[in-house]
Amino acid sequence: MTTRRLTHDADVEEFRGAVRDFLREHADFTAVFGAMREERAWDPAVWSRLAGELGVVGLDVPETCGGAGAGFRPVAVVAEELGRSLVRLPWFATAVLGVGVLLRAEGAEAEDRRKQLLPALAGGERTATLAWAETPDRWDENSIQARAAHDGDTWRLTGRKLLVVEGATTDLLFVAARAEDGLALFVVEGDAPGVVRTADRAMDPNRQLATVSFDGAPARLVSDPGTGERVLARVRDRAVTALACEQTGGAAASLDMAVEHVRNRVQFGRPIGMLQAIKHRCADMAVELESARSASLWAACAIAEDSSEAGIAAATAALACSRSYEYVAAETIQVHGGIGFTWEHPAHLHFRRAATSAVLFGDRHTHQESLLTGLRVDAE
């Protein structure tokens, strides 16, 4: 019997340290607040260095396509560290969603698209995202009504997509649409004619969500008609797992923030961390964090090994990590007292991210149904 290793190895943890040091230097809360106040998108210089020097986009991209071929584990680590930072970067859209589509695409055009597009994405030269949902509360394949039709040597897309991560800013849009022979995946240039992109006002100011409309937009086939359901299912597991790792990182940063505050905040001559009620709150937060960490590690391991239990693990992580992040972020604000409710303090940023992430790629009911479906299939 093979023993599964859930923890990351020394090389991956060393890479974590490099990513954390980089973000601490170039994307601390001062930089995050500055970008928010000026309503800027991501800093191109920071993104270029992170993607180019640290190679965070091409971690699980094959070496033949310009990547590191290191598997999903370091991807999970980057997600966790970006969850701690909260800096706005197109990493999730590009490295998780865009790369995920290309890695999982099937059919005659898939290999050519990988060779054409992955090197530029892996090097940080271009950015990409996935346009999928068409209603705010459904992320299943049956809800997709966008249409694709042949027009000579090209395809034309018509439809409207919601909640597209960095949908108003990325260079490429991977789009799920229905062709005559079934659901397929296409790639569209962000500035192509017939594409209208509108940034939405979201609770989390550091994760742009957009509405994207297509009116006869020219597109290239990525994954053949009839393969879309399988590809989207695997990309969804990948995205949900990366989001769970990000939530774990956010919960860890929130707890660190709370512990630092109760150590240093003095009332009536002693640190408030000595009060039993505060100790109990911090202990409960630590328990929630460990629950999230265990679930996210299991899911990351399942994705890395392309395990048959990836769907169950991803749904479990989504439920555990979203709950833990929401709880820890809310308790961090309470522990800070009055200052925790102010705009100038970073605690509210984690609360906002936790609330937004809890419904991205499906709410708890969606993940509960996915988990139950997976368990029923295994039982049969």
Within its chain, how far is the Cα of 314 from the centroid? Answer: 13
Give the pLDDT score at 37.
63
DSSP structure class, residue 135: B
Strands 172-179, 128-131: parallel, antiparallel or unpaired by DSSP? parallel
d(CA 299, CA 242): 9
**Residues 6+ away with beta carbon under 8 Å from 43:** 26, 27, 31, 35
Give the pLDDT score at 212.
98
**Residues 6+ away with beta carbon under 8 Å from 204:** 349, 352, 353, 355, 356, 357
Within its chain, how far is the Cα of 266 from the centroid? Answer: 38
The hierarchical CATH code for the domain 230-379 is 1.20.140.10
pTM summary value = 0.94
Give the pLDDT score at 39.
58
Give the pLDDT score at 376.
66
Give the pLDDT score at 139.
84
Domain boundaries, the chain: 10-122, 128-225, 230-379
Residues in the chain: 380
* Assigned CATH topology for domain 128-225: Butyryl-CoA Dehydrogenase, subunit A; domain 2 (2.40.110)
Phi–psi pair at 265, nearest 5 degrees: -80, 120
User: How far is the CA of 160 from the CAs of 166, 199, 321, in angstroms?
Assistant: 15, 14, 30
CB atoms within 10 A of CB 17: 11
pLDDT along the chain (380 residues), means of 10: 68 94 86 67 87 94 93 96 93 97 95 96 96 88 92 91 95 97 96 96 89 97 96 96 98 96 85 87 96 96 93 96 97 90 87 94 90 71
d(CA 113, CA 129): 15
* % helix, strand, coil for the chain, step of 5: 55, 15, 30
The CATH architecture of the domain made up of 10-122 is: Orthogonal Bundle (1.10)
